[in-house]
Amino acid sequence: MAVNTSELMSTIVSLAKRRGFVFQSSEIYGGLNSCWDYGPLGVELKRNVKDAWWRAMVTNRRDVVGIDASILMHPRVWEASGHLSGFSDPMVDCKKCKERFRADHLENLDKCPKPKCGGQLTEVRKFNLMFKTWMGPIEDSSATVYMRPETAQGIFVNFLNVQQASRLKPPFGIAQIGKSFRNEITPGNFTYRTREFEQMEMEFFVPPGEDEQWYEYWRDARLQWYKDFGIKADKLRLRDHEQDELAHYAKACVDVEYLFPFGWSELEGIANRTDYDLKQHEQFSGKGMAYFDDETKQHYHPYVVEPAAGADRATLAFLVDAYDVEGEGKDERVVLRFHPALAPIKVAVLPLVKKDGMPEMGEKIYRDLLDNSIKSFYDQTASIGRRYARQDEVGTPFCVTVDTQSLEDQTVTVRERDSREQYRIASSELVGLVRKKMRESMK
Ligand code: ATP
């Protein structure tokens, strides 16, 4: 993966800051490497991404349920999962500039890849990626706990709890969205690789023998999800893992990749994890983790197909992919072409002038939209052109203008973001129209 962040990336990073999508964490103290804060628009965008995932994976399905497990887990979990002994990346340090690199990202292990340095690199060392902390007041090894590096293990250890409580039979899935932590050696590319991030993972438990067909199913379904929410098909691809890339327990793995300005990079991995995790937890906990099939009266350990996505990476991909510059010179406009379901603001209400009762009518329309849970924005400052431009730049799909005619006949002008098409409708029909347009965009 190329490490150079292109000009396009820095343009998007500065737009993200200026318009309140993403700020650097602790900026007034100089920032904290690889940590980012989502601002007012960013938090809406990321919530919409997580909601879209949850709807597709849990709400709209009969065979998947959710959980919300704690971040801190019993330390033996990480022995069983293999994270304590195996969750490490090879790293090298430059003896001259002291920078640290992931050895598997470098072509040449003889010298520092920074063009102006070229210093000698240290031997390759292994480095465990888990953050350690202590539980309780005494900071000794018996109190060590780890910040989870993936949400999946919270699902595996709860497999039987969930199965018995919900009385589901394989094939069925358990989904979770939550924070994970990895002490990455080389974080970077804005929010793409950070040390604290949010995952959207689902473990799909299937009878052994059905794993390969479900693996095919989920790789197609997950690729389609990104397309459904507007990512351009030519910027997406599936990349199968080579045999030597596979985790020791995985039978097959494929990455959904997106063509970021910094190169093709993973958004999500879909893996056939076999029955490895359940069997490991059975061995380490001494508790049976097999499913009892009522019909055959037999116990078995289901195989697991796992689509594991990152909420931050998906959000970044939706942001980057939505960015568009149209026209030239004074006609140039910057548009974030978000899918309406992901757009942080759905409707902007804009009285043409700040007088003659237009603000009052605008306020009423705005209130009505909010009362109907349609995230909207009211703006009565600057010229109408400037206000449209501001909304285009944050990806608002609909602008609604209140003008002189509105006061006479209670109609408003709707302006669509992508086509810039304008049409009049009765203000009383606005909520219905927005709802209909949003529904249509989901087809
Ligand atoms: P990578 O090879 O990029 O380090 P990975 O293959 O180790 O990722 P998984 O363990 O499969 O990642 O995690 C599932 C998903 O969680 C990833 O596809 C990604 O979207 C997200 N993710 C993993 N590590 C990070 C990170 N450091 N920052 C942001 N998202 C991450």
Encode pLDDT of 369-419 as tens digits.
999 999 999 999 999 999 999 999 999 999 999 999 999 999 999 999 999
The number of the ligand 1 atom at minimal distance from the alpha carbon of 184 is 27
Nearest alpha carbon, ligand 1 atom 4: 193
Task: Give the residues surrounding ligand 1 with Cβ less than 6 Å away.
Answer: 150, 182, 184, 193-194, 197, 199, 266-269, 308-310, 312-313
Which of 17-26, 165-174, 246-255, 306-315 bottoms out in mean pLDDT, i.e. has the lowest? 246-255
Tell me what pLDDT residue 67 has. 98
Tell me what pLDDT residue 229 has. 97
Q: Which two tokens stand for residue 114?
A: 């920074």
Q: What is the mean pLDDT of the segment spanning 206-227? A: 98
Q: How far apart are CA 42 and CA 311, in angstroms?
A: 12
DSSP 34: T
Query: Are residues 94 and 121 in contact, defined by beta-carbon separation less than 8 angstroms?
Result: yes
The pick from 127, 236, 266 for probing ligand 1's pocket by mutation, whose C-beta has the most ligand atoms within 8 angstroms, reads: 266
Nearest alpha carbon, ligand 1 atom 13: 308
Nearest alpha carbon, ligand 1 atom 14: 308
Q: How far apart are CA 56 and CA 240, in angstroms?
A: 23
Please name which of 280, 271, 78 lies closest in space to residue 159, comparing C-alpha atoms: 280
Q: pLDDT tens, 67-85?
A: 999 999 999 999 999 999 8
What are 34-38's contacts with CB under 8 Å, separation 24+? 34/184, 34/187, 34/188, 34/193, 34/194, 34/195, 35/194, 35/195, 35/196, 36/190, 36/191, 36/194
Q: Give start and end residues of each alpha helix (H) in 55-94.
A: 75-81, 83-86
Report CA(226)–ligand 1 centroid distance (Å).
17
Helix, coil or strand: residue 105:
helix
Report CA(308)–ligand 1 centroid distance (Å).
8
Report CA(195)–ligand 1 centroid distance (Å).
10
The number of the ligand 1 atom at minimal distance from the alpha carbon of 308 is 14
- Average pLDDT in the chain: 94
What is the model's pTM?
A: 0.93
Q: How far apart are CA 71 and CA 154, in angstroms?
A: 8
Nearest alpha carbon, ligand 1 atom 18: 268
**End-to-end distance of the chain based on CA atoms, in angstroms?**
35
The number of the ligand 1 atom at minimal distance from the alpha carbon of 313 is 20
Tell me what pLDDT residue 418 has. 95
